[in-house]
Amino acid sequence: MINNRIITLFFCLICNVSVIFADIPAAPSLVPENISISKEIPEEGIYLTKSEFETFLQQYHSEHSQKQGWSPKNPALKNLAWKKGNFTITPYGFIYLSTSYETQRTIDGDCSLYANSPDFERDASFNIDPKSSRLGVKLEGPGIPIWNGSKSEGAIEFDFQGAFNSRNRGSLLFRKAYVAISDGYTKFFVGQDWEIVSPLAPNILNDAMGWDAGNLGCRRAMLRIDHKFDFCNSSHLLAQFCIGDNVFRGGALASPAATSWPVFQGRLAYTFGEGYFQHGKPITLGLSSHIGAQRFTFAENDRKELKTWSFNVDVDLPITKKLGFQMEYFLGENLATIEGGIGQGVDFQRRNTIRSQGGWVGFLYQCTKKLQMNFCYLLDDPFNKDVVSGCDGNNLSRTYNQVFFLNAMYNWNDALMTGFEVDFWRTHWQRYNPLNNTVTALTPGTPIRYELLIRYSF
């Protein structure tokens, strides 16, 4: 006969499923604090007696009847976690479906980076993409005994984007895997996560997040240390430094390789005004930078070591309780590996790096508890004199890329979100003629993109 406690736990799990977005903190326990747990706790997890389960349900329904939506005050009722010894294990993820129509095709359709020129691509495009569905697990555990007050955490996360061009055969795409130990002020971090530079992101529905259009920063393996300096109750300074993996991108005309040096990244962020303004939210001003080098082997064994660097500014400014403003600015060289320069780091005709500048400014407005509106302008503008033939091996290159977007996101409950967005793209192209060594401007790509997103989170 099936153990009654296993049946009890199964119904408990069904009743307690709730939204968990990527990167939210793990709940300390599945059971509310005022419920005593049976003395016998197997190593595999926590089991409730029948009376404990009935008490749990009574409290669960009581709290939900007093609230709008599905956001219980008790974190144990909001998050579903599994405890094993001193560790808390929290699964999370979402099922994602994006439907989009473009008046002219962008690259790569369901993950738009820039628009094609109508001189070589005039067709409209319709896309349906479920491959950005995501799975992950967060872990929280004890710290180091000799470090008082420390705790450990970790995460593993992946989605199914894999090769973008594989429409109905999405493969696993490795996103995150890291371990961190911290005490609230100092954090030591090893593994792969988001880069330090340009940490903000526009509230765009497109899964490409504005990469190659003004939003820098992707994920990278690193060794990192963070430290927070408190000045008073309402302000602090965050200092971050990391040694990162030497990620590189090549092209049809050159073979890239790592050098003997890693990529160094750093950021200083000053946060102030918490609890001071009427809306109670703090302002954050950040400065970040990276520097490194990459080795490229061109034809005739012409080998060059080319630098990559950037200087970046980020601002997070809550204006009122409902209205917010965010922006980032960047200036740098050989930025393809951190999603800048419209995907072009090195010009293979000049056999030298491409400099670029840009960024984005965005406003968000929380109309109601469930409805949010977002407006944003993004720009990535390489230096024209640095771009001749580009890096794709087809003598085509991109010299300017911008996008305006306006969207609305509606949360039907904590699990289900739908969003609708309109994007206005403009991408400038040019073609290099190697016979007479001339460059000719092409007709800019100016598509309008409509996107409907449905996301079901757990």
- Give the CA count within 13 Å in the CB-facing half-sphere of 247: 21
> Residue 16 has which token pair?
């307690």
| DSSP conformational letter for 254 | B
- Range in 278-282, 291-295, 424-428 the model is least confident about: 278-282
For residue range 156-176, list pLDDT tens digits in order. Answer: 999 998 865 567 777 889 999
Model pLDDT, residue 281 = 87
Is the pLDDT at 225 greater than 90? The verdict is yes
Model pLDDT, residue 165 = 55
Is the pLDDT at 69 greater than 80? The verdict is no
> Residue 106 has which token pair?
């962008």
Nearby residues of 380 by Cβ (< 8 Å), 6 or more positions away: 212, 213, 214, 340, 341, 342, 356, 358, 400, 401, 402
CATH superfamily, domain 92-457, is: Porin (2.40.160.10)
Quick count: other Cβ atoms within 10 Å of Cβ 17?
10
Is the pLDDT at 266 greater than 50? The verdict is yes
Is the pLDDT at 335 greater than 70? The verdict is yes
Q: How far is it, in rounded angstroms, from Cα 363 to Cα 59?
A: 39
For residue range 97-115, list pLDDT tens digits in order. Answer: 999 999 999 998 788 999 9
> Residue 239 has which token pair?
């200092």
Range 432-452 average pLDDT: 95
Q: How far is it, in rounded angstroms, from Cα 128 to Cα 452?
A: 10
The larger pLDDT score, comparing residue 275 to residue 293, is at 293
> Residue 97 has which token pair?
């479906």
Nearby residues of 105 by Cβ (< 8 Å), 6 or more positions away: 115, 116, 121, 123, 124, 125, 447
- DSSP-assigned letters across all residues of 359-406: EEEEEEEE-SSSEEEEEEEEEEEE-GGG-SS-SSSSSEEEEEEEEEEE
Model pLDDT, residue 251 = 62
- β-strand 151-159 against 303-318: which pairing, if any? unpaired
Is the pLDDT at 77 greater than 80? The verdict is no
Range 141-154 average pLDDT: 93
What does pLDDT average to over the chain?
Answer: 83
The larger pLDDT score, comparing residue 25 to residue 315, is at 315
| Own/partner pairs, 50-59, CB within 8 angstroms, 24+ separation | 50/4, 50/8, 53/8, 53/11, 53/12, 56/12, 56/31, 56/32, 57/15, 59/32, 59/34, 59/35
Burial class (CB in 10 A: 0-12, 13-18, 19+), 233: exposed
> Residue 272 has which token pair?
């102030």
Q: How far is it, in rounded angstroms, from Cα 377 to Cα 450?
A: 16
Q: How far is it, in rounded angstroms, from Cα 409 to Cα 370?
A: 8
The CATH 2.40.160.10 domain(s) of the chain lie at 92-457
For residue range 306-322, list pLDDT tens digits in order. Answer: 999 999 999 999 999 89
Range 199-224 average pLDDT: 95
